[in-house]
Structure 1
Amino acid sequence: MAELIVKDNALIQASYTLGLAEQRLILLAILQARETGQGIDHNSLLRVHAHAYADHFHIDKGNSYEVIKDASKGLFDRYVTYHDKNPKTGNDRSFHCRWVDKIGYEKATGMVYMRFTADVVPLITRLEEQFTSYELEQISQLGSGYAIRLYELLIQWRSIGKTPMFELEKFRQQLGVEENKYSRMSDFKKYVLDFAIEQINKHTDITVKYEQHKQGRIITGFTFKFVVKVKTQKIIESKRDADTPDMLTPLKMTDKQRLAFADKLSRMSELSSYSKPGKDYHHFAKQIAEDLLDDSKYAFYIPYLDKLGFKLS
């Protein structure tokens, strides 16, 4: 099964500064919590093994423990800034909170431990609202934290393949560029934006290009367009019958069929790790039924629907 990372879009749009190893450590912790069925809550002490980190991100196993140990130390001092609205007044609010409130190391087993803060947990685990999901494989070879952040920002718009304009100052914050770093546009483009796009185009499932927007001579923001690579599309198509329509077209299902197949999908062992801990089949089936209506989510279920006998028409 694809190794799926799920993050709430509020977190993906948030502004934070993380190093490459710190971002990777968080993503791997999320993945392993889902794969083991442990789930994530404020009491979850998540474990990441050095060898798992080395295997996923293609680094030397001999150095991987020190890498994740240092990353966990750095993460302990990091914070995230996110925005919401006051439910009583409707006013915009900004909050700062730490990523983790507990870390630990076990050299004998090559293990590090971490616990997400109570504020961050809901942003990671809130699947019933708008979220972005992607396979860890897509970012495993990205050698830049900026590239990971840009990829996450872009795939929120996967269903249409283009983004609204990202205003420059907010965009810099979302990428994690420190205020006094790469202040000249030529440096920002060379060391952050162009390098990140080069990495994404080389190592992920999409090809990206951008357009800059100006007021007079001053660049004020960027928009992006991207397409799924032909090779990736061929892999997707090879898993389907030759007569099956494009996966990006809506599913041809009645509401009765959608609810029936959602119930069957919720009981498949291959999908059990995607259910929320402590929730029954009925709750999971309801989540799936909603996903099947969502253009950005339904394609994930097509291989499993095929196993159950549903064919696109």
Structure 2
Amino acid sequence: MQLDLLFYLLSTLEEGATTRPVELWLGSFSAAAGKKHNYNYVTAAATALVAQPLTIRGKQEQYRPLRLFDRVRSVPGQGLLQIKLARTGIPYLLELRDVIPAASLRALLQLSSKHTKRIYALCCRYKAKGRTPTFTMPDFKQILGLLDEQGHEKQRGFTSFRKHVLEAAIEQINATTDLRIDCHLEKHGRAVFYLAFTVKSQALPVLPPAAGADAQLLS
């Protein structure tokens, strides 16, 4: 839900939003995602981003915390959230907005898992170059949130990771978005240790109309 909120806000973000709250209307958010959202659940997800910063990779290839939201004001009778962006997170959000094309928003929101969304966003960043950097498997799993704070894997076994994360993401991204990607794996000894994606543009597939696009859940 937090990833969906982030990607949706990116599509509506304007330069002036850096000084005034961003308005998120539940009906528009649900229509873009192609599914109905519960207002209380969306509010809780947005509020959590105030207290819990995201972990991102900085320019020096080090991971650091980044807070995106300063505060969230709920207007439940109207299905509205007013979100004040954190000053330190605004440059990062504007950079992401320029990387991910707005025309791909609905396809991105409808990707089924958070891992697929993150792989898509990563590949969008390197679309112009045609290839992502080569990552070690631990670094890539850190990007996907598959390692805990102690570095322990949340999903054990490379076969499961390849089938349920990599192959599932590649299949859905290629079928529903403006990108066509492929994964290249390299071994270090007997184990797969390095990973990179090739990235090509393709015509955005025509998706069926979202069911219940006009519906809003106000409670």
Equivalent residue number for residue 56 of structure 1? 32
Structure 2: distance between partners of 1:32 and 1:72:
16
1:193-204 residue pairs with structure 2 within 5 A? Answer: 193-204=166-177
1:77-156 residue pairs with structure 2 within 5 A? Answer: 77-81=51-55, 82-85=57-60, 94-125=63-94, 132-135=99-102, 136-156=105-125
Q: TM-score, normalised by structure 1?
A: 0.57
Runs of 4+ aligned residues of structure 1 deviating over 4 Å after TM superposition are none
Distance 1:94 1:54, change over 3 A: closer
Equivalent residue number for residue 71 of structure 1? 45
The one-letter amino acid of 1:68's match is V
**TM-fit CA distance, 1:93:** 5.7
Distance 1:72 1:171, change over 3 A: same
Deviations 1:268-301 (A, max 9, x none): xxxxxxxxxxxxxxxxxxxxxxxxxxxxxxxxxx
Equivalent residue number for residue 26 of structure 1? 6
CA RMSD in angstroms comes to 2.6
3-state SS in 2 of match to 1:164: coil
The one-letter amino acid of 2:58's match is H
**TM-fit CA distance, 1:94:** 4.8
Equivalent residue number for residue 256 of structure 1? none
Q: Which runs of 5+ in 1 are unaligned?
A: 1-20, 86-91, 236-313
Distance 1:44 1:77, change over 3 A: same
**TM-fit CA distance, 1:58:** 0.5
Structure 2: distance between partners of 1:213 and 1:191:
19
Indicate the percent of aligned positions where both proteins have the same amino acid.
22
The one-letter amino acid of 2:127's match is R
Q: TM-score, normalised by structure 2?
A: 0.78
Structure 2: distance between partners of 1:32 and 1:233:
20
Name which structure has the greater RCO, CA cutoff 8 Å, separation 6+: 2
1:163-312 residue pairs with structure 2 within 5 A? Answer: 163-179=132-148, 180-229=153-202, 232=203
Number of equivalences: 198
Q: Which runs of 5+ in 2 are unaligned?
A: 207-219
